[in-house]
DNA sequence: TCTGGGGTCCTAGGACCC
DNA sequence: TCTGGGGTCCTAGGACCC
């Protein structure tokens, strides 16, 4: 028995939120995003799209295309509150909900739908119910797998409803351009086109013939994607709450720089933000990663793994700064970022041990602790090398 | 006037262990 | 003095998604 998996996507969500906040914006071209250096369109209203404005477009370009564009900064807290209302509304129908992002979810309606005569009407009713209650517009995809449901919700917007049965796959899915496919992005789509694959149907045919070029191209993803286009694939809706594996913060600087003071103060700010969020989430991480983007947009990462996981702002800052000074101090930089990785729950850390450690070093500064740790690691490495040489 | 910021997952090479 | 292979961890980079 196949399941009834639903994907619900809130249409032009950020823009819709702003229209709900200020109804005078309705039917006007609205874009959400930062209007300044490096600013891009995060989301825009359907009216703005008529001018050619689209997501991820530089704001200056959006303004060129649509001179009367209304630009609003991102109001994340307001959007989150509306997103919560959206999830609460769906929860009236099923508890099996997987929150995929702020504006979309998967839901398992297998039991909910039992005995329902007119399935399309049932989902239309949910769609209009959500609109009545929250003023949010959504598109709904209904299918037997998450992939097909996702493709369904994307098929018709806004306020679309697309039901994809197994027998509909070749009619609905296969004619779509390959770049409409979930999982195929800006890099892979052009490569596939070079291989003569224009549509999802073309891809399905080549996958089903086990084309060795595609086996090499997709690696581990091959069997997953082959299942997807054949109506198989995951139908498991995970109700687990979001559990972050990394917490990061990055910023594009006012102007490109190699000024050490400015870079240090930026790292301090980023480290503080990361630390505060990790503390709020009760998370500790052993690995600190920095990201730098050069003025020519070349991106570099460096990371260092501590012996003890941390969420201390000073330690994060010190590692970040050392990584920067060791690797990138001669670069002209556009963007800086700090990420704490491999997060674990505070409660899972050996509490006794960390308490002991803390008392032992209470009077020492975080910096000292860090330097000690770096030294220990360094000595260990040197010792290991020496013993290797000895062996030989 | 150029091209964000938040994430996840995968790959591939090197170090190291057994 | 010839030269294994399985496994884990760390690191850097890259693709993708919203």
Q: Between the CA of A343 and the C1' of B14, what is the distance in angstroms? A: 24
Q: Between the CA of A5 and the C1' of B5, what is the distance in angstroms? A: 30
Q: Alpha-carbon distance A212 to A186, whole Å?
A: 22
Residues 6 or more apart whose Cβ sits within 8 Å of residue A177: A198, A199, A200
Torsion of CA A61, A66, A67, A71, to 10 degrees: -80
Q: Between the CA of A293 and the C1' of C9, what is the distance in angstroms? A: 27
What are the pLDDT tens digits along chain A (392 aa)?
Answer: 899 999 999 999 999 999 999 999 999 999 999 998 889 999 999 999 999 999 999 999 999 999 999 999 999 999 999 999 999 999 999 999 999 999 999 999 999 999 999 999 999 999 999 999 999 999 999 999 999 999 999 999 999 999 999 999 999 999 999 999 999 999 999 999 999 999 999 999 999 999 999 999 999 999 999 999 999 999 999 999 999 999 999 999 999 999 999 999 999 999 999 999 999 999 999 999 999 999 999 999 999 999 899 999 999 999 999 999 999 999 999 999 999 999 999 988 765 354 445 444 443 445 555 655 665 555 555 544 444 444 43
Q: Between the CA of A355 and the C1' of C16, what is the distance in angstroms? A: 41
Phi, psi (rounded to 5 degrees) for A51: -90, -5
Q: Alpha-carbon distance A373 to A191, whole Å?
A: 46
Q: What one-character DSSP code corresponds to residue A40?
A: B
Closest CA to A306 of A326, A323, A327: A323
Nearest nucleotide to A43, CA against C1' atoms = C18
CA distances for A9 relative to A56, A79, A86, A157, angstroms? 18, 14, 10, 9
Closest CA to A123 of A131, A69, A85: A131
Residues within a 7 A CB radius of strand B: A 34, 37-40, 42, 55-56, 58, 60, 64, 219-221, 244-252, 273, 277, 296-297, 335, 337, 339, 381, 384-385, 388
Supply the angle between the helices A200-208 and A221-229 in degrees, to the nearest 10: 120
Two structure tokens written together for A299: 């991106």
Residues within a 7 A CB radius of strand C: A 56, 100-104, 150, 181-189, 286-287, 289, 299-305, 342
Residues of A marked as catalytic: 104
Q: Between the CA of A385 and the C1' of C8, what is the distance in angstroms? A: 19
Q: Do A140 and A160 form a contact (C-beta atoms < 8 A)?
A: yes
Q: Is the pTM of this model over 0.75?
A: yes
Which run of H or E residues covers position A120?
Answer: helix A119-134
Which of strand C's nucleotides are less than 7 A from any protein C-beta? 9-18
Nearest nucleotide to A288, CA against C1' atoms = C11
């Amino acid at each position: 028995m196949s399941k009834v998996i639903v994907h619900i996507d809130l249409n032009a969500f950020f823009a819709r939120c702003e229209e709900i906040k200020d109804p005078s914006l309705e039917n006007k071209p609205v874009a959400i995003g930062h209007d300044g250096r490096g600013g891009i369109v995060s989301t825009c209203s359907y009216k703005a799209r008529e001018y050619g404005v689209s997501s991820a477009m530089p704001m200056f370009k959006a303004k060129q295309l649509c001179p009367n564009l209304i630009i609003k900064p991102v109001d994340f807290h307001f959007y989150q509150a509306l997103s919560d209302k959206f999830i609460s509304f769906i929860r009236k129908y099923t508890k099996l909900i997987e929150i995929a992002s702020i504006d979309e979810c998967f839901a398992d309606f297998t039991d909910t739908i039992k005995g329902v005569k007119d399935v399309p009407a049932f989902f239309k009713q949910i769609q209009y119910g959500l609109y009545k209650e929250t003023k949010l517009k959504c598109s709904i995809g209904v299918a037997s797998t998450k992939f097909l449901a996702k493709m369904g919700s994307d098929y018709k917007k806004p306020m679309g409803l697309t039901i994809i049965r197994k027998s509909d796959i070749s009619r609905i899915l296969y004619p779509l351009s390959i770049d409409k496919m979930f999982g195929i992005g800006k890099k892979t789509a052009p490569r596939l086109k070079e291989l003569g694959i224009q549509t999802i149907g073309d891809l399905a045919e080549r996958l089903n013939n086990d084309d060795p070029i595609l086996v090499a191209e997709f690696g581990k993803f091959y069997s997953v994607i082959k299942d997807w286009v054949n109506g198989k694939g995951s139908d498991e809706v995970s109700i687990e709450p979001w559990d972050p594996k990394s917490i990061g913060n990055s910023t594009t600087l006012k102007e490109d720089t190699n000024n050490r003071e400015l870079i240090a103060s930026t790292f301090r700010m980023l480290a503080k933000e990361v630390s505060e969020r990790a503390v709020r989430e009760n998370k500790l991480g052993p690995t600190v990663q920095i990201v730098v983007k050069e003025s020519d947009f070349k991106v570099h990462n460096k990371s260092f793994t501590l012996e003890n996981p941390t969420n201390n702002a000073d330690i994060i800052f010190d590692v970040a700064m050392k990584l920067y000074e060791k690797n990138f101090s001669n670069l002209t930089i556009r963007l800086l970022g700090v990420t704490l990785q491999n997060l674990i729950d505070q409660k899972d850390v050996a509490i006794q041990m960390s308490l002991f450690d803390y008392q032992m070093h209470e009077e020492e500064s975080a910096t000292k602790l860090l330097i000690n740790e770096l030294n220990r690691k360094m000595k260990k490495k040197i010792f290991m090398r020496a013993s290797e040489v000895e062996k030989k």
